[in-house]
Amino acid sequence: MAIWTPPPDKPVGANEYVGRRIFARNGLKGAGQQTKPKGAIELYHFEDSRGDLSLDRLGATSIDKKVVRRLHPLCDDATQKFNPPRPFLGWFSAHVKAIRAIRATPPLEVSASPIKDQVGEKDNPYHSHISTPEKMDPQHFALLVKYAFEQGETIAVESEGTGAIQTSPSILERFKVILRMFKRWLRA
Position 166 in a domain: yes
Position 115 in a domain: yes
Query: Residue 59's CB: how many other CB atoms inside 10 A?
Result: 20
Position 7 in a domain: no
Mean pLDDT of the chain: 80
**How many domains, the chain?**
1
Grade residue 5 by pLDDT with cuts at 50, 70 and 90.
confident
Mean pLDDT of 65-84: 86
Position 3 in a domain: no
Mean pLDDT of 43-48: 85
| pTM, full prediction | 0.76
Position 43 in a domain: yes
CA dist 121 → 77, 81, 128, 154, 186 (Å): 11, 17, 18, 27, 58
Q: Is the pLDDT of residue 171 over 70?
A: no
Position 72 in a domain: yes
Which residues pair with residue 154 across a beta bridge? 92
pLDDT of residue 47: 87
Q: Phi, psi at residue 130, to the nearest 5°?
A: -120, 125
Over pLDDT 70: what percentage of the chain?
77
Q: Which domain holds residue 142?
A: 17-187
Query: Residue 146's CB: how many other CB atoms inside 10 A?
Result: 19
Mean pLDDT of 15-36: 76
Q: Is the pLDDT of residue 98 over 90?
A: no
Q: Is the pLDDT of residue 118 over 90?
A: no
Query: Residue 13's CB: how many other CB atoms inside 10 A?
Result: 15
Position 165 in a domain: yes
Position 9 in a domain: no
CA dist 7 → 19, 65, 70, 113, 114 (Å): 18, 18, 16, 11, 10
